[in-house]
Structure 1
Amino acid sequence: MIQQALESKIENPNKTLWEKGDFTEIASLMRQSGQELVTHLGITSPLRILDLGSGDGTTAIPLAKTGSEVIGIDIAKNLVEAGNKRAREEGLSNLKFQEGDACNLQEVMDHSFDLTISVFGAMFAPKPYDVAREMVRVTKRGGRIVMGNWIPNDPTSFVSQLLKISVSFSAPPPEGFISPMTWGMKSYVMDYFAKTGVKAEQISLLKDTYSFISPDKTPADLIELLGKFYGPTMNAFEAAGKNGKVEELRAQLIELANSQNTAVGVGISIPATFLRVTVDL
């Protein structure tokens, strides 16, 4: 039993990270963009859809409102519980959330879904080749995979800049760590899927924008929320606290948020560029 627990921790190093804070506090600022992304998908008839790294349903709930049968899988138990609560409140009997690891969807049968989608979710799983393999395995032939991934070092990507600053204050990653930001780079995306047998002509990439929106919060409020509820930023503040650099970290993040806020007057509207990956199987 002890060995099984140790193996579980090795297989799921991000579980503690994403259960650390209440990500629903951050997701509440992303609801409108979730609906916009689903609209872009152009779903005209009900599908069977997997939302991988679903959080509490920012994308899954508007997907379910198309009439589709949606399964949301997330590694964080608290987010699964929050998602199922939201589904009940919305009266969506066609939406269910469950715990699972994007690197090993062992309870999901081959070719189960017409559409597999992951918006800033599966990119954070520690084994990208396994993630690509699993997404291809569970998607029907003739179906498609759609991912939204943050782009590294893109000055128009708020989150990639946020993560870059956070990493600079955090402890070095463990040996063998593969940055989740590789999912925002064409060469890596092509390689991850190539190993599954997907051909380059089946993959399309384009830049899109996701936004953090609130009519009554300031950029400083957003950074406070991220520091309390977003795992990577929480870790950065903890590390900065040990080195007496909390105020330096906070100042850099607030400056970033202020520089990218496009709202006029009160409120925030902070766009974040990402890479939209579509794989036609």
Structure 2
Amino acid sequence: MNANKQLWEKGDFTRIAETMRESGSALAATLGITKGLKVLDLGCGDGTTAIPEAKLGADVLGVDIASNLVQAGNLRVKSEGISNCKFQEGDATDLHELSDRSFDFTVSIFGAMFAPKPFEVANEMVRVTRPGGRIVMGNWIPGDPTLVAQILKISSAFTPPPPEGFVSPMLWGVENHVLERFGKAGIAKEKIHFEKATFTFKAPISPSEFVQRFRLYYGPTMNAFDAAEKNGKAQDLQRELEQLFVSQNQNGSGATSIPATFLKVTVTV
């Protein structure tokens, strides 16, 4: 089985995505989406940005490698009565089912960055986007002191070394790597723009309870706890994550509001 598919079908990422709705809508509102625009939302999960894009009038196709998230996304649009958004399973490294130049806009917020073979990912995003169209990626930044980068850093310390040839998804948060990947796909560096932005996780639960949600439902953290339990270090991992979440929480009333910095990449095709 595809290891990436296995990772994201593990647990239930919708339980994390619930805490990302507000920032997903806010981010979609900054993208300049207009009625009738054809949008591909790649690595879409259950629609954190895809559904807000559809509500802004775009015709949206959400593609994700995890069948459970595709099903959850289609259930969301059905329950909300949205007719201009659908979800289907697909692999960001090989979008063979999608035609060349078929989208005005390709969006991937914390999605395609986790796919292996980053050069193939960049090439596929460029291939399916029409000339003059745009690609926007949101990518976590390695070594960044805010939430998600630190979750992944802490978790990696408790897991076995990755297999030979593994390319860290966090390299999508490094400008030189982004330039190289899109450069190989035929994009000149002056057509690639970078800025730092913030995504806030909000949940009506305490930071400690939020850690538990990651432990139970978020694939990378689940894998870290599986490995830590085998080594008798699960309590250490739990403690480090709770310290992180508590220290970064900006909600003073017992709930959780934690900002995370990411690299926003805008490419003109």
State the alpha-carbon separation in 2 of the partners of residues 222 and 42 from structure 1.
33
Aligned counterparts, 1:52-63, within 5 A: 52-63=42-53
Q: Match for 1:27 among 17, 27, 46?
A: 17
The answer to whether the Cα contact below 8 Å between 1:169 and 1:240 also exists between their aligned partners in 2 is yes
Q: Which residue of 1 aligns with 2:93?
A: 103
The alignment status of 1:249 with 2:225, answered yes or no, reads no
- CA-CA distance at 1:13 after TM superposition: 2.1
The answer to whether the Cα contact below 8 Å between 1:46 and 1:66 also exists between their aligned partners in 2 is no
Q: Match for 1:140 among 121, 126, 130?
A: 130
State the alpha-carbon separation in 2 of the partners of residues 171 and 209 from structure 1.
30
Note the residue ranges of structure 1 that are not aligned, 5 or more in a row: 1-8
Identity among equivalent positions (%) equals 58
Q: Partner of 2:19: helix, strand, or coil?
A: coil
- CA-CA distance at 1:264 after TM superposition: 1.9
Q: Which residue of 1 aligns with 2:182?
A: 193
The answer to whether the Cα contact below 8 Å between 1:165 and 1:253 also exists between their aligned partners in 2 is yes
- CA-CA distance at 1:40 after TM superposition: 1.1
State the alpha-carbon separation in 2 of the partners of residues 104 and 113 from structure 1.
16
State the alpha-carbon separation in 2 of the partners of residues 235 and 13 from structure 1.
12
Q: Which residue of 2 aligns with 1:48?
A: 38
Q: Which residue of 2 aligns with 1:224?
A: 212
State the alpha-carbon separation in 2 of the partners of residues 170 and 23 from structure 1.
20
Structural RMSD (CA): 0.7
State the alpha-carbon separation in 2 of the partners of residues 37 and 269 from structure 1.
17
- CA-CA distance at 1:43 after TM superposition: 1.8
Q: Match for 2:194 among 188, 200, 205?
A: 205
Q: Partner of 2:104: helix, strand, or coil?
A: strand
Give the TM-score taking structure 1 as reference length: 0.95
- CA-CA distance at 1:171 after TM superposition: 1.2
Q: Match for 1:260 among 235, 239, 248?
A: 248
State the alpha-carbon separation in 1 of the partners of residues 32 and 41 from structure 2.
16
Q: Which residue of 2 aligns with 1:70?
A: 60
Q: Partner of 2:157: helix, strand, or coil?
A: helix
Q: Partner of 2:76: helix, strand, or coil?
A: helix
Q: Deviations over 1:144-201 (max 9, x none)?
A: 000000001011x210000000000011101100000000001100000000110000
Give the TM-score taking structure 2 as reference length: 0.99
State the alpha-carbon separation in 2 of the partners of residues 45 and 53 from structure 1.
22
State the alpha-carbon separation in 1 of the partners of residues 177 and 92 from structure 2.
18
Q: Partner of 1:145: helix, strand, or coil?
A: strand
Aligned residues: 269
- After superposing on structure 2, the runs of 4+ consecutive aligned residues of structure 1 that deviate more than 6 Å are none
